[in-house]
Amino acid sequence: MPSAPPRPPFKVCIVVPCYNEQGVISHTVRTLLDQLTKLEAESLASASSFICCVDDGSRDGTWTEIEQLAGATGRVKGIKLSANFGHPNALVAGLFSNRSQADILITIDADLQDDENVIRAMLEHHRDGKRVVYGVRLERQVDSLLKRTLAALYYRMMKVMNDRTIRGHADYRSADAGVIADLERFGEANLYLRGIFPLIGYPSAEVHFARKERHAGVSKYPISKLLSLAWQGITSFTTTPLRMVFYIGLAMFLLAAGYGSWVLYAALSGSPIEGWASVTLLLITFSSFNLISLGIIGEYVGKIYKEVKQRPRYIIEATV
Ligand code: UDP
Ligand code: MG
């Protein structure tokens, strides 16, 4: 069923995924509540706007903290997942559980590295008829040089394979409830949200901000997890690597054909080449290429395996 964009003042729901965020969560919630109060004064947000913290199976006191916040203000909800399902699953748990109770749903990290002051700009875009607003980081001076270089490389690569990814956009975005209803129809287990939102379509806008330092606690995304996220992004969204395997195979076949004719010619003309080195070289080149290809194909088969099992993406243990 087609959905119409909502009108202000919006009932806003801010979804905050939390994994071991005991040290920051209460500061974050207070900052976001202040923000909501300001937006209410400007008639952008309604008085019934709220915050929903999703505890993604934290092993510290995050949930106790959330329960206390919920008890204290009445504008804070909490969802406790039964285990650590991962950032994207925590986000959809928050989005899907609240979409019928809100007009606009915003996702923001618990550490407030993304500037909460641009929520106003997001809501203004919604007022002007936009359905999805992407938060885009202007600069990444706060992150390490390695992380920045890898990020730049990744966006470049994605651009080559699939030009819809928005450079500098992570998971800070707002969308209206109708868009979230459409998102719910994407039943894939390998959720790559920053790629899916541009696929859903609708009029969208970007708001820009500078990324801040983590308020407290440590990053849950070390380089290894980032690399796996990038690999996940590529293999969930494009089959270009599979096609590349085919092209490289083709190129190798042509090379082999040339080399083979030369060897055959030499043998027939009575001067066979002595060739332990060349045989070994060919053998290892082709067998290693075979293994890499198998690995890439295996990655996609693994994805299919995960998809066909249709496991739930998250399990809610408790709510407050
Ligand atoms: N997060 C989560 N589940 C996880 C890992 C992270 O819900 O398994 C949350 C985390 O609490 C934070 C957000 O995802 O709110 C982003 O994580 P983090 O700030 O550690 O990543 P970074 O900003 O360093 O990329
Ligand atoms: Mg962070």
pLDDT in the model for residue 98: 94
User: What proportion of the chain, given as a percentage, has pLDDT over 90?
Assistant: 32
pLDDT surpasses 80 at 11: yes
Q: How many CA atoms lie within 13 A of 157 on its CB side?
A: 15
Does 114 contact ligand 1 (Cβ within 6 A)? no
Q: Domain map of the chain by residue range? A: 12-218+313-319, 240-309
* pLDDT at res. 144: 76
Assess whether pLDDT exceeds 90 at residue 90: yes
Predicted local confidence at residue 140, as pLDDT: 60
pLDDT of 168-198, one tens digit each? 788 899 999 999 999 999 888 878 888 888 8
Cβ(98)–Cβ(16) below 8 Å: no
Strand (E) or helix (H) holding 285: helix 276-309
The CA distance from 28 to 111, in Å, is 7
Query: What's the average model confidence in pLDDT over 223-230?
Result: 78
Identify the pLDDT of residue 149.
Answer: 83
131-141 per-position pLDDT tens digit: 999 999 886 66
DSSP H or E stretch at residue 38:
helix 25-41
135 Cβ below 6 A of ligand 1: no
Q: How confident is the model at residue 165 (pLDDT cuts 50, 70, 90)?
A: confident
- Indicate whether residue 220 lines ligand 1 (CB < 6 A): yes
Position 55 pLDDT exceeds 90 = yes
Tell me what pLDDT residue 3 has: 78
Phi and psi at 204, nearest 5°, equal -135, 170
| Pocket lining: 108 vs ligand 1, CB cutoff 6 Å | no
Provide the phi-psi class of 15: left if phi over 0, else alpha when psi is between -120 and 50, else beta: beta
Rounded Cα gap, residues 52 and 31, in angstroms: 14
Atom of ligand 1 nearest to the CA of 220: 20
Nearest CA to ligand 1 atom 24: 219
Phi, psi values for residue 235, rounded to 5°: -75, -20
Q: How far is CA 206 from CA 120, 123, 168, 282, in A?
A: 12, 12, 10, 51
User: What does the pLDDT read at residue 183?
Assistant: 92
Atom of ligand 1 nearest to the CA of 86: 8
Contacts of residues 307-312 at CB distance under 8 Å and 24 or more positions apart, as own/partner, are: 307/188, 307/189, 307/190, 309/189, 310/187, 310/189, 311/189
Average pLDDT over residues 200-219: 80
Query: Tell me, what's the pLDDT at 139?
Result: 67
Look at residue 248 in the predicted model and tell me its pLDDT.
85
Residue to probe by mutation, ligand 1, list 220, 225, 313, most atoms within 8 Å of CB: 220
Lowest mean pLDDT: which of 43-57, 88-102, 293-307?
293-307
Under the banding of pLDDT at 50, 70 and 90, the label for residue 153 is confident
Cα separations (Å) of 304 from 81, 82, 236, 255? 25, 25, 10, 33
Predicted confidence at residue 73, as pLDDT, reads: 84
- CA-proximal residue: ligand 1, atom 19 (nearest): 219
DSSP string, 48-75: T-EEEEEE-S-SSTHHHHHHHHHHHHSS
Q: Tell me which of 87, 89, 137, 219 to substitute to probe ligand 1's pocket, judged by most ligand atoms within 8 Å of the beta carbon.
A: 87
Q: Is 78's C-beta closer than 6 angstroms to any atom of ligand 1?
A: no
What kind of architecture, by CATH, is found in domain 12-218+313-319? Alpha-Beta Complex (3.90)
Residue 174 confidence (pLDDT): 95
Query: In sequence order, which residues have a C-beta less than 8 Å from that of residue 247 and are 6 or more positions away?
Result: none
Q: Residue 215: what pLDDT?
A: 64
What per-residue confidence (pLDDT) applies to 1? Answer: 64
* pLDDT value, residue 267: 79
Q: Does the Cβ of 80 fall within 6 Å of ligand 1? A: no
Q: Over 80: is that where the pLDDT of 68 sits? A: yes
Q: What percent of the chain has pLDDT over 70?
A: 94
Of these ranges, 51-55, 231-235, 258-262, the one predicted with the greatest mean pLDDT is 51-55
The DSSP-derived string for 160-228 is HH-TTSPTTEEEEEEEEHHHHHHHHT---SS--HHHHHHHH-SSEEEEEEPPPPPSSS--S--HHHHHH
Confidence of residue 91 (pLDDT cuts 50, 70, 90): very high
Dist. CA 113 → ligand 2 center (Å): 6
What is the pLDDT, as a whole number, of residue 121?
A: 93
Ligand 1: residue whose CA is nearest its atom 13: 109
**pLDDT of residue 302 exceeding 90:** no
pLDDT at 217 over 70: no
pLDDT tens track for 247-285: 888 888 888 888 888 888 887 887 766 777 778 778 877
